[in-house]
Amino acid sequence: AMQSDDPTIAELLSAVPARPRLLVVDDQPINIQVMHQIFGSHCQVFMATSGQQALNFCLSTPPDIVLLDVVMPGMDGFEVCKALKSHPETSDIPVIFVTAHTDAHQETRGLELGAVDFISKPVNPAVVRARVKTQLTLKSQSDLMRRLVFLDGLTGVFNRRYLDQQLPIEVARTVRNQTPLALIMLDVDFFKRFNDCYGHQCGDDCLRTVATSVRESLRRPADLVARYGGEEFVCLLPDTPFDSAMAIAATLERNVRSKHVAHVDSDFQIVTVSLGVTATCGESALSVTELLERADQQLYQAKNTGRGRVCGAVLKGQVA
């Protein structure tokens, strides 16, 4: 059983936003104002006055919950909910319908589309506050449970399965928004020799030290580190151009070295890592495989030119 004082779980729990992001979707500004008065003091309240605007917002900056008016010109609330639920990047956002004409048929339809609750207008502030709080609590718990499935049991960073899930999402985002995306692949130098010399127990401790060092070196919430294989880790860095990724990789290399973990069978006498870096700026038809392969090639280059160093190359051109 996992201990509740496990630092990674504590970190995950603390990741529940102190000021949740609430998106209010309504074509009547007065209704948005009412919601702002109810939630403004303890939520970040965002607004959209049309269905399409709401979808665009959810794709670019996913909120923690959506309060959605059913009756709107153009794209109605049901269509917006259906679109949100059909998109992998937005399907987990809880949707509460807010409507003046609630009837059993409408409610059934909304729940079948994936909404979590129905609130009738005019809203009672205490009721709407309590219901939103319930859904935010459930959302943070299910997010936490989902994330625990994606943690590497040994090192506490994300596992390969999570990386495989996030990579296509980030690649799609970088293509859509034409923003940069960087990938760092790193590998513990002479790790087989380390295990042969010190034993697998110490090998496990060594991997934990490296993982912790890497995780502490990545500063932004969107940056992700995952254990990719035995002694191999991958850092996925959204909105990070190549030069910044190279600087981050150099910091990672330095920080692992500064731990001074003894390794008598290494050319360096201490534990070091080799790193391969690549970055792209949203070329169309970019493939996840190409991104990983390019970082892997650069890692191979770092290994072949002496280890304990960073090699990198920008991913350019149209990639099939």
Residues whose CB is less than 8 angstroms from the CB of residue 8 and which lie 6 or more positions away in sequence, other chains included: 151, 156, 157
pTM of the entire predicted model: 0.65
User: Any catalytic annotation for residue 231?
Assistant: yes
State the DSSP string of 85-98: HHSTTTTTS-EEEE
- Could you report the per-residue pLDDT of 110-123, keeping only the tens digit for each? 999 999 999 988 89
- Could you report the per-residue pLDDT of 58-90, keeping only the tens digit for each? 998 899 999 999 989 989 999 999 999 999 889
Superfamily of domain 160-314: Reverse transcriptase/Diguanylate cyclase domain (3.30.70.270)
4-8, 204-208, 212-216: segment of lowest average pLDDT: 4-8
pLDDT at 55: 95
95-109, 158-172, 262-276: segment of lowest average pLDDT: 95-109
- Could you report the per-residue pLDDT of 211-247, keeping only the tens digit for each? 999 999 998 888 999 999 999 999 999 999 999 999 9
Q: Element (H or E) spanning 312, and its range?
A: strand 310-314
Work out the mean pLDDT of the chain and round it to a whole number. Answer: 90
Domain map (residue ranges) of the chain: 7-149, 160-314
State CA 148 to chain mean position distance: 13
pLDDT at 320: 35
Question: What 3-state class would DSSP assign to 296?
Answer: helix
Question: What 3-state class would DSSP assign to 235?
Answer: strand
Residues whose CB is less than 8 angstroms from the CB of residue 176 and which lie 6 or more positions away in sequence, other chains included: 59, 282
Q: Say how many residues make up the chain.
A: 320
Q: Which of these is catalytic: 89, 231, 232, 283?
A: 231
Average pLDDT rounded to a whole number, residues 271-291: 87
CATH code given to domain 7-149 = 3.40.50.2300
62-76, 143-157, 158-172, 200-214: segment of lowest average pLDDT: 143-157
pLDDT at 247: 97
Average pLDDT rounded to a whole number, residues 197-220: 94
